[in-house]
A = this chain, B = another copy of it.
């Protein structure tokens, strides 16, 4: 085992954190109607299109900047002052205050939290500032679902509406010149052109979306997870007993949100996870999720059979008071389901699932998580912690996919969803895992039905088991499909899955693969605004605006580095070809020459157009084109 650290090297931490803005990009904010609703976007500046119409200087056509969804928080805003040792500013503090339904606590109420705080040996691991501690006033329920069901549009909901509305975030000029998006196929998802605060409220009230935002995590920028919003991506970080310290994990947090993590789960095990979590929460602008069972198991020195409800309850309160926004709770692993895994190829592969199975068998009784579920709800609503009901019996191999153990647990998760909703507590449902392509959709269909459309949150799924070292790819393939079918959030997988703890680069590789999957799902569902990004890349590509193509890429650094590997000279950045095909064989260049040739040779006219099937979405443009049939290219 690695030696556990005894202090945090804040100089080292500050050096690690990446704070550079993205190339050619700036942070812009769009205000909402409610006070303090100021929603960040990344605005990518683009260069002009040069139109060559004969000899002399080309005409310049401006390309409006593109605004994209931005989960990177203040770190990419050069104007933001950030002190890692004190944490981010509390964006939501005033909103929470104004609701008047929380009370400020004099101190931590969990036994373990107090014990850690009272241990002077840990002072070198603690941050410089302590946050204000809040809890719902007695009898109050501070969940976003509770507000939504009473018809209240909170600032959090308005923030989400502005954030999701990529169409509105674009300038008017872009809208007027935009290529029509492809007709989507959303399998029943509701694709609004214009996402309103009221729509967000109705989705949260209905339980079809969640906004994970603990009152003790006011630093977070509200975001929604739901089938009728953009598909989100979660990144898992956290040390294990074998490797990694607090500095690495905070750095991974900032790095993960730079590459698009919409939420981050801190899955730390080993010592000091209370303190590690505090550093992560105070510096995180995205919701943080945890699996409290991991810490509970540490408290009983890894002996699952020694877990108990009082110990677990204290852990929930400890973490809720730190500000964790969602808890994975494996309450669906019931005693009777454990034998269903007996003839599996890979048994139980969820850590939480295997811990609970061991507890159930050892005590030969029903899971304490299942039996105390109502009491857990009481804690959740006192802080607004969202459930992420864990799929402890998810399949760990193609052979075990969609089996009876998995679906038995899913039905229990649906039952528990209804219990949580009776408490107005937000819920999402975790899903697999390892599933071959042809069985992926069944997971979504069954989940939507069994869990009443509560947001689905899946790990991949990997669509084959043969790819250790490349499981980010095989799982992102499954993720693109399951996102398209209706999964609301995709939990990433890194190249190290099944092999070791991911490092910084693994985190990035996992995120890029999953952001591609999520964006592809958005496109496929027909989200208005999603295709604008693709169009901007493709237009830049066709016009040889290399710098624009790099800065529009999902990873500008890599795109530029790959291009420069073979054509590093500055003038190659304006060249009308790249090294892949060379100058004579660049189809884009020839295609432009075709247009230019037609322009200079107006006498060249094609025969009458054949009657061909016209794609519906392009119908109008095709008609318009035929009407001006005598000109090949305008």
Contacts and interface: CB of A to CB of B under 8 A. Distances in A.
Contacts of A346: 538-539, 541-542, 588, 591
B468 A625 contact: no
Given A411-B612, A632-B342, A591 B348 contact: yes
A571 interface: no
A317 to B, nearest CB: 22
B477 A634 contact: no
Contacts of A606: 335-336, 338-339
A401 B182 contact: yes
Contact of A609 (B180, B340, B552, B586): B340
Given A463-B520, A565-B500, A591-B347, A609 B339 contact: yes
Given A335-B607, A582-B242, A593 B358 contact: yes
A555 B588 CA distance: 35
Contacts of A615: 402-404, 407
A474 B516 contact: yes
Interface stretch (A158-166, A193-201, A370-378, A432-440): A432-440
Contacts of A588: 346-347, 349, 354, 396
A309 interface: no
Interface string A508-540: 000011001101110111100001011101110
A112 interface: no
Contacts of A561: 469
A150 interface: no
A294 B471 CA distance: 37
A582 B240 contact: yes
A345 B184 contact: no
A516 B477 contact: yes
Given A499-B559, A500-B579, A587-B350, A533 B338 contact: no
B439 A496 contact: no
Contact of A519 (B399, B401, B464, B480): B464
Interface in A596-618: 597-598, 601, 604-610, 612-615, 618
A613 to B, nearest CB: 6
A167 to B, nearest CB: 16
A612 B407 contact: yes
Contacts of A607: 335-336
A319 interface: no
A436 B520 contact: yes
A50 interface: no
Contacts of A357: 590-591, 594
A185 B562 contact: no
Contacts of A594: 338, 347-348, 354, 357-358, 361
Nearest to A583: B241
A287 interface: no
A484 B438 CA distance: 8
A105 to B, nearest CB: 31
Interface residues of A, number: 155
Q: Which of A357, A468, A477 has the most CB of B within 10 A?
A: A468
B438 A474 contact: no
A566 B597 contact: no
Interface in A330-367: 335-343, 345-351, 353-355, 357-358, 361-362, 364
A94 to B, nearest CB: 36
A468 B556 CA distance: 9
Nearest to A446: B613
A111 interface: no
Q: Which of A553, A580, A609, A615 has the most CB of B within 10 A?
A: A580
A101 interface: no
Given A335-B607, A398-B534, A403 B618 contact: yes
B585 A351 contact: yes
A590 B621 contact: no
Contacts of A585: 240-241, 269, 294, 297, 351
Q: Which of A342, A465, A552 has the most CB of B within 10 A?
A: A465
Given A240-B580, A501-B580, 17 more contacts: A182-B439, A240-B581, A269-B584, A298-B584, A336-B609, A338-B632, A349-B587, A353-B587, A357-B594, A396-B538, A396-B587, A397-B535, A438-B484, A438-B523, A467-B553, A498-B541, A499-B559
22 contacts: A185-B438, A240-B580, A242-B583, A243-B566, A269-B582, A338-B594, A339-B629, A346-B542, A348-B587, A348-B590, A349-B591, A357-B594, A361-B632, A364-B605, A396-B538, A397-B535, A407-B613, A438-B525, A468-B549, A474-B516, A476-B477, A500-B578
